Each structure stands twice: as C-alpha cells, then as structure tokens.
C-alpha cells in the first residue's frame, strides 16, 4: 500500500480544521498520516488548534503563504520521509470514508497523474465533476464547462468513470511526490485562486501528465468558507480572482503568443467592469487586480490578514 500524507491548511478556523481532521481519521481501508499547516492564524486560533491536535504534526507558517505556499510546507516536510502521495484537502472539505481508497485504486491502475475527486455541496449536488472534458490530449471546449455540475451525486456517479479532465479542484487534489520532485510543486506566485488549474495545465502541456478524476471518491465542500466571515475578505477575493483569472488565460489559453494580448485582456476586462457600479468596493478591487495583471504583478500583494 502506498504511503499517503494528507495536508490540511488552517487559517483562523480551528473548529473547521478539526472537523476535517476527524473526517480524515475516519477514512476506511487506508491509514494516511496527517499534517496540519497553520497559515499564520491569529494567536487565539493558533493556540486552540495546537491544544486539540494531540500528537498530530502541526507546521507553523511564518506568515500567510496562501494556498500553494502553505501546502508546500507539508510537501517539503514529507518529501524525504518516504511518502508516495500528497493529498491536499481544504479544511472545509469532508471526504467520505472510502474516498481515499477509491483514489488509491485509481492510482494503482493508472499511475503517475494528478488525481481529483468529485466535490459535492451540502445537498449532495456535484459542485465539481471534472472541469472540462478531454478529447485525446485536447480540451473539449464544445461540451461546455463541467457538464456534471449541479446534478445529484447519486444520479450522476454511476454514469461516470475514471477519466482525464482539464484540472482538479483545489479543495481535494492528490499529487504523487514523484511528480512534484521531478517537475516542481504547485506555483506559489498566484497566492490565491488559479494555482491548481495552472499547475495541471502546465504539467499536461509540458510533460504529458494528465489529471484524472475519480468519480467513486467524493468530498463534500463548503465553498469559499474562508471569505464569508468578513466583508473585507470579499475585497481580497475580488482582487485575486480578477488578477489571476486573467493571468491564467494569458499563460494557458494561447494569448501569450501575441505581444498585445496582455493589454487587450486588461482593457476588455476593464470595459466589462464599467457596466457595474464603479464605486462599489469589490469592483474597485477587481479593477486593481486587472491593473496588476497588466503590469505583470504576481504573488502576495494584498494581505488577507489586514482585512479580517
């Protein structure tokens, strides 16, 4: 049996993280190790988490490193300790008891790839069923984005199979350590949003490594839970989504081939935003993100901890 390390990232939500830990401890048919990464939470949250984790490994980030940077701490901790696979779970994800076992079965059959699970909402409807479908090595944009999304899991899952898709969902993604050691870890300079998609697109394009979705593996996810606690954090969300969506399009959807693509993407997105109330703060932060994309700004620029 392959050795699996689960990485759970915590930022100011120890109760939710502990619920995720308990769900992982209830996994059936396999005994993974868990590492929790605290992404520079407020002192009371960090203290509450440390007190209740018991003997589990807790890594403390010196500052909020974002999604990829935080999980990279778990990768660096585990890469020389004999683990084969790293399963990244958001702390608001709840894997069903057989989820990891189903992914391991797929890994034994298909080998080196990124692996995605189905992601469902609290009502049991599919929130992520694979992104875009693939036709050979090419994305089949003609079928639309995620044709399974919104369908009840009990209805859709029997019709699905393990298959290549465009990218995993960041809430539940399994990476073989061998892939990360050979080709690098998830890019950290997105900071938030888009990094797992960029990683999957890059691995497929540059190294022929696919992303496979495993429909028998199901994880329930409470989307964007980190950003519903503060109106200020919604501004952070607006900024990074605007900036990183444009960056992803520029780097992976062919726009980089044209020298005027970056200003064209920025201007066209700016024009679309003009249809919204200009002075509303989320729109202003999105415009800020568009400007930073146009200037080539990457990494952590707006600090979420300042908007709590």
pLDDT by position in tens, the chain (length 308): 799 999 999 999 999 999 999 999 999 999 999 999 999 999 988 898 999 998 899 999 999 999 999 999 999 999 999 999 999 999 999 999 999 999 999 999 999 999 999 999 999 999 999 999 999 889 998 889 999 999 999 888 888 999 999 999 999 999 999 999 999 999 999 999 999 999 999 999 999 999 999 999 999 998 656 655 678 898 999 999 999 998 998 888 865 555 555 665 666 666 566 555 555 678 888 888 988 988 899 999 999 999 88
What pLDDT, on the 0 to 100 scale, is given for residue 83? Answer: 98
Let me know: does 87 contact 206? Beta carbons within 8 Å.
Answer: no
Cα 301 to Cα 8, 42, 186, 228, 279, distances in angstroms: 24, 20, 19, 20, 21
What pLDDT, on the 0 to 100 scale, is given for residue 54? Answer: 85
Beta-carbon contacts of residue 7 (< 8 Å; ≥ 6 apart): 35, 37, 71, 74, 75, 86, 87, 88, 89
What pLDDT, on the 0 to 100 scale, is given for residue 182? Answer: 98
Q: Provide the whole-model pTM.
A: 0.91
Q: What is the DSSP letter of 152?
A: B
Let me know: does 4 contact 88? Beta carbons within 8 Å.
Answer: no
CA distance 103 to 188: 25
What pLDDT, on the 0 to 100 scale, is given for residue 272? Answer: 61
Q: Where in the chain is the domain with CATH 3.90.550.10?
A: 4-226
Q: In the CATH scheme, what architecture does the domain 4-226 have?
A: Alpha-Beta Complex (3.90)
Helix/strand/coil for 273: helix
Let me know: does 158 contact 175? Beta carbons within 8 Å.
Answer: no
Let me know: does 266 contact 290? Beta carbons within 8 Å.
Answer: yes
């Amino acid at each position: 049996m392959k050795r699996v390390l689960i990485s759970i990232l915590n930022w100011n939500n120890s109760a939710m993280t502990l619920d995720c830990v308990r769900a992982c401890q209830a996994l059936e048919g396999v005994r993974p190790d868990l590492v929790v990464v605290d992404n520079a939470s407020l002192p009371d949250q960090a203290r509450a988490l440390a007190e209740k984790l018991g003997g589990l490994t807790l890594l403390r980030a010196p500052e909020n490193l974002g999604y990829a940077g935080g999980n990279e701490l778990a990768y660096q901790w585990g890469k020389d300790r004999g683990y084969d696979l790293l399963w990244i779970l958001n702390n608001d994800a709840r894997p069903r008891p057989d989820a990891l076992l189903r992914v391991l079965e797929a890994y034994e059959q298909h080998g080196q790839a990124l692996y995605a699970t189905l992601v469902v909402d609290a009502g049991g409807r599919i929130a992520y069923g694979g992104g875009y479908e693939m036709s050979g090595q090419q994305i089949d944009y003609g079928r639309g984005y995620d044709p399974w999304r919104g369908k009840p899991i009990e209805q859709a899952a029997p019709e699905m199979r393990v298959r290549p898709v465009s990218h995993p969902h960041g809430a539940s993604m399994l990476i073989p350590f061998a892939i990360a050691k050979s080709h690098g870890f998830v890019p950290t300079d997105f900071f938030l949003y888009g990094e797992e998609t960029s990683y999957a697109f890059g691995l497929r394009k540059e190294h022929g490594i696919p992303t496979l979705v495993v429909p028998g593996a199901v994880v329930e996810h409470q989307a964007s839970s980190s950003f519903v606690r503060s109106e200020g954090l919604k501004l952070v969300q607006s900024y990074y989504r605007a900036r990183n969506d444009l960056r992803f399009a520029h780097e992976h959807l062919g726009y980089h081939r044209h020298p005027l693509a970056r200003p064209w993407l920025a201007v066209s997105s700016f024009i679309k935003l003009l249809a919204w109330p200009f002075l509303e703060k989320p729109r202003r932060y999105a415009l800020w993100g568009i400007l930073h994309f146009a200037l080539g700004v990457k990494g952590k620029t707006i600090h979420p901890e300042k908007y709590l």
